[in-house]
A and B are shown apart, each in its own frame.
Chain A
Amino acid sequence: MTRRQRSVPRGPALLLAAMALLAASPALALDIDHTALEELFGEPVTTSATGKPQRASDAPVGMDIITAEQIRRSGARDIPAVLARYTSLDVHQYNASDYSVGIRGYATPMTPRLLVLVDGRQVYLDHYGYAAWDAIPVQLSEIRQIEVVKGPNSALFGFNAVAGVVNIITRNPVHERHSSAVLRLGTGRYREASGVASAPMGEGGGIRLSAGLRGERNWGRGYTDFEYGALDAGRDPTRAQVAGEVRFPLGSQARGSIDASYGRTISAPFADYGQFWREDKRIWSLRGRVEADTTIGLVEGQLYRNSFRGLYAATPFVTDHSVTVAELSDTVKLGAAHTLRPSLQYRHAVMDIGASEVGYGVASVGVMWNWAFDPQAETTVALRYDHLWLRGKGYDNPDFPYRSADYDREFGTLAWNLGLVWRVSDQDTIRLSAARGVGVPTLYDLGWRDSYPDFGYQDTGNPFLKPTVVDDYQLEYGRRIEVIDGRFVATVFHQRNSGFSSGLSAATHFPPDVAYETYSPYNLGRSSATGFDLSVKGRLAEAVNWGVEYRLASVSSEFRPSLLDPKRASPRHLVSARLGWSGGPVELDLFGRYASQAQGFRTVDEVGTVLVRSKDHVSVAARLAYHVTDRMTLALEGENLLHQRQEQSFALKAERRFYLSLRSEF
């Protein structure tokens, strides 16, 4: 397969030049030391809400922040499982390694609505528009915290942050010395080895290396014969990952970093059209960053490229995808009360499927303004304009409805976030927010193309597909409750959506207009979601911690018929509860989760599709750990404990599994 590289656009070149100038200035950087700031303020700090560093309690949007300690005690092996145990996010697990994660509904398989980043670098895959959770090159023990923004945040992160953002923050090697190794064996032939080494290096520098190997037997019940036979969907998933980062000082107040990662994952993800298909994906990334504390503010620039290659069972076709992002921002505090954060970004994404290639460039300009107009109240306004230029080549086959010239188009979108935080008293906080997020159609929906004459049909992307636009409104009340040493939070939300893609779920063109019955994406229409989140968590005498999260999402829609059902993809009710105890060298943690019924379509053979409902269910996970020494922990972990096999989604039946892990820190 050939891959054509486009010439470097002017936008990135200008940004690079600007970054170089800033890096050469006498300005100096201050890398954010999460550990020191968290110790100082007694709560997590984040940059995921507005781009400026702020305390979690000051963020103008609803957030969940999961700490390294919680991750360690979760007993989970995957990031989505961690999210399921500490939040009321929509987390669906379809087989031993495949997940979909959504926020407040619409969590279809491979949902395109959640933007996932690692230290600000997107790991969301633009080509199919989803996060391949099993291919994120991060080991759980190197994560400092997982920051979850509930609601659109396109004004900060751009396209695809329509339901929310998950930003995975790793340990900063400049400030944290951390080395650990994990060995884990379990039922289902589970075996895992991973290691992380992070250490300061010289004055203001640091290095972090991580690697992980993992394999297991896939879940065994629920495949269609076609999936199992032709698509190799029952293959046991394996993964191998390696990542590294070097941070170094650039003068006395600037710092640079280079990070890279490579991972290979062989698994059978559950596609949005309801089918498992074995995929061999290789993903690698390279990024350079500069941070500088200058006279004009805290200047940050980054340039990175993610590349993807996917090979699939039953087809010789290869999918190549890459995204290159250059961005520059300046966060500056003006006077005592105002913080501004202007930003520029250029993104170039391309998907090459052999005979044809589709891609786009997106130039963006945005600004965030935070105004602390009262010691107890502040407001945030963020605006961002994105302009997209779409291009395609190799689409001139007359058998299909669209030509290459149809891809020569462009459009612009405006995203915004408004937020108000009012600390009514030392115990009470009110948040009010409104936001518009925009999700760009995936490259797959825009430009996929294949043909199956033997079966009498063909697929093609639709270059005229419109973006998904989400308007979101939230009101949150939070109260610190001393008697439980904890906090209660209630959030009411209302969300209006337009757009949605049908994917390749329904035929749209028929002979004689085209050679064969043709499946092409179209916009499904409008939908709204209304509901509320409740959260209460507390501690008892430092030995016991507990929490309960509840989410109700009531979804209504005016969708055109299709074989994709975002409306009912997520359960209406979700409850997540946890109870942890520690005494001496022993830790015991229990996690329960309830989900009401959901439904989706399953593709049962080459062309047949059926509607499948999953029942409401309760699942339980647990971890019992013993600290053999201060630096070595032995843990017995279990998941799906209530049943040997349990129907938790409309895909495979979840299996009960046990794991024995040995974690050593040195």
Chain B
Amino acid sequence: MSYRNRPGLFGAGFRTGCRGSRRAVLLLGIGLGVGGIFGPGRAEPGLRDLQVAVRALAFLEEPPVGPAEIGIVYGENSVEGLAQALRVAASFGDGLRAGNLTLRPRLMAVREVRQGGVVALLLTDSALPHAGRIAQAVARTGIVTITAGAEAAEPGTTVLRVRASPRVEIVVDRIAAEAAGVSFAAAFRMMIQER
């Protein structure tokens, strides 16, 4: 079951892919997200990090255009992870734009990433331990897996790692990109780090 949250509750309307079996966790997470009991916690992606991530997608060889969704991925059964995912999703506001692309968030638990329907997956802290599973799930789909302003995932699992400050840093994992069927424009590749 999916539903649309009320606009304004988190500053924006965004979709979730949460199942009813975890509704209690979700509601608790929403409460924590609104209340901010845990605060931002670890190096959580900020708005500038997210803007860098979205703008980087414009330099894919086949960039997405128009309205599209990005999955905000969190670990199952992680209340704190869901809270962080909610905060990140709220940062998207009405959607983050880069050129002709407008990205809106969609909450996804790790096991839901196979559903597809998104152009990218942003892994929050609680999803990082599952980066390998997620990479397998999106292999050859063209979906870009991203970590933003957070700890790095295991090498070879996440396509894009971005950081906005103090200096914009963009790292593309070549193994992960190849596995996901993702390639970036030549000029862009010359301006970022590849591992």
A residues sitting closer than 8 Å to B (CB atoms) are 30, 32, 36-37, 39-43, 45, 52-55, 57-58, 293, 297-298, 331-333, 335-337, 339, 372, 375, 423, 426-427, 480, 482
Contact = CB atoms under 8 A, between A and B. Distances in A.
Given A36-B55, A336-B194, A41 B168 contact: yes
A76 B165 CA distance: 34
A55 B193 contact: no
B56 interface: yes
29 contacts: A30-B185, A36-B55, A36-B98, A36-B99, A39-B55, A40-B52, A40-B55, A40-B168, A40-B170, A41-B191, A53-B190, A53-B191, A54-B190, A54-B191, A293-B185, A298-B186, A298-B190, A331-B186, A331-B190, A333-B186, A333-B189, A333-B190, A333-B194, A336-B174, A339-B190, A375-B193, A423-B167, A427-B166, A480-B166
A293 B55 contact: no
Interface string B81-109: 00000000000000000110000000000
A39 B55 CA distance: 8
A332 B187 CA distance: 9
Contacts of A297: 186
Contacts of B188: 37
B58 interface: yes
Contacts of B186: 30, 293, 297-298, 331-333
A41 B192 CA distance: 10
B195 interface: yes
Name, among B98, B168, B174, B186, the residue most crowded by chain A CB atoms within 10 Å (CB to CB): B186
Nearest to B166: A426
Contacts of A332: 186
Given A37-B191, A339-B190, A57 B185 contact: no
Contact of B167 (A54, A372, A426): A426
Given A45-B191, A336-B194, 6 more contacts: A36-B58, A40-B59, A54-B191, A55-B191, A333-B186, A339-B190
A298 B174 contact: no
Nearest to A336: B194
Interface string B9-32: 000000000000000000000000
A131 B94 CA distance: 50
Contacts of B191: 37, 41, 45, 53-55, 58
A579 to B, nearest CB: 25
A336 B58 CA distance: 20
List the 10 shortest-distance A-B pairs measured between CB atoms, nearest first.
A336-B194, A40-B55, A426-B166, A30-B185, A53-B187, A298-B186, A41-B168, A52-B190, A293-B186, A333-B189
A114 B194 CA distance: 36
Interface in B23-79: 52, 55-56, 58-59
Contacts of A336: 174, 193-195
Contacts of A375: 193
Contacts of B187: 30, 32, 53, 298
A375 B187 CA distance: 18
A15 to B, nearest CB: 22
A39 B168 CA distance: 11
A252 to B, nearest CB: 10
B155 to A, nearest CB: 12
Contacts of A54: 190-191
A58 B55 CA distance: 20
A401 B114 CA distance: 84
A30 B170 CA distance: 19
B156 to A, nearest CB: 13
Nearest to B185: A30
B144 to A, nearest CB: 15
Contacts of A42: 164, 168
Interface in B147-195: 164, 166-168, 170, 174, 185-191, 193-195
B166 A372 contact: no
